[in-house]
Amino acid sequence: MEINPLHPVFAAEMTGADCTNPTPELVAAVEAAMAEHAVLCIREQDLTDEQHLAFARAFGPLELPGAYVEGVRRRIAYGLYDASNLDMDGNIIEQNSLRAKFSKGNELFHADSSFNDLPSKWSMLRGVIVAPERGETETIDMRAVYDALPQAMKERIEGLEAEHSYFHSRRKAGAPVDMDEARANNPAFPYLHAVQPMVRTSANGRKTLFLGAHAYAVVGMEPEEGTALIEELLAFACQPRFIYAHTWRQGDVLIWDNRCALHRGTEFDYEKYKRDLRRANVNESGEDCYAIPAGLGFESAMKAMPAKAG
């Protein structure tokens, strides 16, 4: 196995690995590379969905999209998140569909599942079908962002907490969402909302800024002041010097540490090219868990999404 840097600040690629056989040596090598680089691409992997899930489980328990329901037709294996533009039959879905509108939120820099109380360790995104042009996945090293902050800002945000919500990032990206109604009436809201520290410590001991598109308020601040602070910090983080843009090759497994790296998908010719990316989410600790509880499936929760007036 070889590990080569992909960016001056962070991100690396690993070649010569076999993810179908997560030996203790491979697991240790990936853990060490992730602690240092925060983003790792493992090249040339021909995995089934089941092998993808087994590889992810070698690094911790999984966050599952929802409870397993017997007899439900699935395009991909239960346990994986579908980050494609494809319907159940493998056809490109309508660009003006509700699903496509909600997927636009993935084009904002975010940390997966920061709206859940249980911290997400890593995401593992696998390229099954990749667009031949555009469609890069961009990532940000939030450790480097924190290091570059002025000392006065570091002192200002130390000890602060931010509220994160799935509903906020969808609204921010243009989906028809009313946050007040979501909080009051949608049964999924408590499970897609969490309070997180704005500064935390990464796997290699470096301090990191912990924000993203799901963050919408700062605990103890007036709404306008909190929003302004979050947007100021995110604008600082989005400088090109902190961003690595990953150009996809079929068979890539791209891993990022949600505790210290943001990511987003970028636009491609949605109606022309099929794009099939599948993601496993690894949690820090505990057992396998659901993104939202059994009996409250994600699809039903989204159908209950309140429409924004007008």
Ranges assigned E (strand) in 130-225 = 137-141, 161-165, 193-197, 199-201, 207-209, 215-218
Q: Which residues of 256-290 are buried (b: 16+ CB within 10 A; e: fewer)?
A: bbbbbbbbbbeebebeebebbbbbbbbbeeeeebb
The residues, ordered by sequence, that sit 6+ positions from 74 with a Cβ below 8 Å of its Cβ are: none
Residue 84 lies in a domain: yes
> In 3D, which of 63, 167, 163, 193 has the Cα closest to residue 105?
167
- Per-residue CA distances from 178 to 69, 169, 199, 303, 308 (Å): 30, 12, 28, 14, 5
- What CATH number has the domain bearing residue 193? 3.60.130.10
Q: How far apart are CA 106 and CA 85, in angstroms?
A: 12
Q: How far apart are CA 92 and CA 4, in angstroms?
A: 35
Give the number of domains in the chain: 1
Residue 310 lies in a domain: no
Residue 36 lies in a domain: yes
The residues, ordered by sequence, that sit 6+ positions from 57 with a Cβ below 8 Å of its Cβ are: 282
Residue 274 lies in a domain: yes
pLDDT tens, residue order, the chain (310 aa): 999 999 999 999 999 999 999 999 999 999 999 999 999 999 999 999 999 999 999 999 999 987 777 788 899 999 999 999 999 999 999 888 878 777 887 899 999 999 998 879 999 999 999 999 999 999 999 999 999 999 999 999 999 999 999 999 988 988 878 888 888 888 888 888 999 999 999 999 999 999 999 999 999 999 999 999 999 999 999 999 999 999 999 999 999 999 999 999 999 998 899 999 999 999 988 899 888 776 665 555 555 555 443 2
Phi, psi of 157 (to 5 degrees): -90, -10
Host domain of residue 16: 2-303
Cα 296 to chain centroid, rounded:
21
Which DSSP letter does residue 21 get? S
Residue 255 lies in a domain: yes
Q: How far apart are CA 235 and CA 179, in angstroms?
A: 23
Residue 309 lies in a domain: no
Burial zone of 222 (CB within 10 Å; 0-12 exposed, 13-18 middle, 19+ buried) = exposed
Q: How many other CB atoms sit within 10 Å of the CB of residue 309?
A: 7
Residue 134 lies in a domain: yes
Residue 308 lies in a domain: no
